[in-house]
């Protein structure tokens, strides 16, 4: 029973990572409105069943260069099929945990929280489409996906025999690890805001922006949460200075992330029991920074942009693993 449950949780966690990555691909391919209704596609089960409706929409928009095309519809629906499967697996985990909690010696609290989160994610996915890619909804949908992945990783770690560091010095890293995780979550939110506002190329030079360290920026309109895509809250066109403010803030967040996560890497490397975590975290952080820079200097290649999102999820997973391991340090070692 425990072995089967463990396998179910691990498979679901891997699928969550795939869903997050595919979601980034769909967003970067501008395929989020490939099917303008929800949960089906023009009221049908698949784009194949809605081929005539899609052809009509393509003709009305003057070609396949707009938000609707058969290929974009398939990409959007493939993501929905994966997300739906993920939701069913989380439902199965919740039911099994609740019914077999005595045999599994597991509390159903976390699976129930995951089920509630995935229901919210479904609603955000629907609103992403029906509200025409409102930046705040798209960003919350991204954060919900990352939160689902993080909680599933935590649940998976409960099923594994993970050896915890037992040194007093290792226990002092708990605060650093929690701070690094909080900073990373904030940076992921900023990255989502950049992506949902199509501000990734608002600055095309590096390390400066428009040839300046502090360019002209409009933070007031750039960070208005309740507004349409490309518009201010008043309905006027969103100025380029607002997009610059969004992009520049993400760069500053990247610097802070490197400082906090880098400091944690150094702390982990100084303790024998946690040195392996330090090496792994430093490697993933370096790859993520390189991908971020490559996105700018190479003009946002699709493969690099998708990899940047995937490695952000991997960095989140790594920090969740480290926080889990450090949380198991015996309280007798706490300073």
- Which active-site residues does the annotation give? 76
Q: Give a three-class secondary structure readout of the chain.
A: CHHHHHHHHHHHHHHHHHHHHHHHHHHHCCCCCCCCCCCCECCECCCCCCHHHHHHHHHHCCCCCCCCCHHHHHHHHHHHHHHHHHHHHHHHHHHHHHHCHHHHCCCCHHHHHHHHHHHHHHHHHHHHHHCCCCHHHHHHHHHHHHHHHHHHHHHHHHHCCCCCCCCHHHHCHHHHHHHHHHHHHHHHHHHHHHHHCCCCCCCCCCCCECCECCCCCCHHHHCCCCCCCCECCCCCECCHHHHHHHHHHHHHHHHHHHHHHHHHHHHHHCCHHHHHHHHHHHHHHHHHHHHHHHHHHCCCCHHHHHHHHHHHHHHHHHHHHHHHHHHCCCHHHCC
């Amino acid at each position: 029973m425990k072995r089967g449950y463990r396998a179910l949780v691990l498979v679901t966690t891997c699928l969550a990572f795939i869903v997050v990555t595919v979601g980034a691909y769909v967003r970067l391919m501008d395929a989020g409105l490939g099917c303008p209704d929800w949960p089906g596609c023009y009221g049908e089960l698949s784009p194949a069943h809605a081929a005539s409706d899609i052809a009509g929409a393509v003709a009305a928009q003057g070609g396949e260069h707009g938000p609707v095309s058969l290929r974009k519809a398939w990409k959007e629906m493939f993501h929905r099929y994966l997300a739906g499967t993920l939701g069913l697996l989380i439902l199965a985990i919740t039911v099994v945990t609740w019914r077999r909690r005595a045999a599994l010696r597991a509390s159903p609290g976390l699976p129930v929280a995951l089920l509630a989160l995935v229901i919210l994610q479904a609603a955000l996915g629907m609103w992403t489409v029906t509200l025409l890619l409102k930046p705040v909804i798209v960003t919350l949908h991204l954060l919900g996906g990352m939160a689902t992945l993080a909680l599933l990783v935590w649940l998976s770690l409960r099923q594994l025999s993970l050896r915890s560091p037992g040194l007093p010095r290792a226990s002092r890293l708990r605060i650093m690890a929690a701070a690094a995780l909080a900073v990373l979550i904030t940076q992921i939110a900023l990255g989502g805001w950049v992506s949902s506002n199509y501000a990734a190329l608002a600055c095309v030079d590096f390390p400066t922006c428009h040839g300046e360290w502090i360019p002209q920026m409009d933070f007031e309109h750039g960070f208005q949460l309740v507004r349409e895509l490309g518009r201010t809250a008043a309905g006027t066109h969103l100025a380029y200075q607002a997009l610059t403010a969004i992009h520049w803030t993400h760069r500053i967040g990247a610097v802070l992330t490197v400082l906090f996560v880098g400091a944690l890497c150094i702390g982990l490397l100084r303790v024998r029991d946690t040195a392996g975590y330090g090496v792994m975290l430093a490697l993933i952080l370096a790859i993520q920074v390189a991908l971020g820079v490559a996105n700018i200097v190479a003009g946002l290649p699709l493969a690099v942009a998708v990899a940047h999102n995937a490695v952000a999820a991997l960095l989140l997973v790594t920090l969740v693993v480290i926080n889990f391991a450090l949380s198991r340090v015996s309280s007798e070692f706490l300073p």
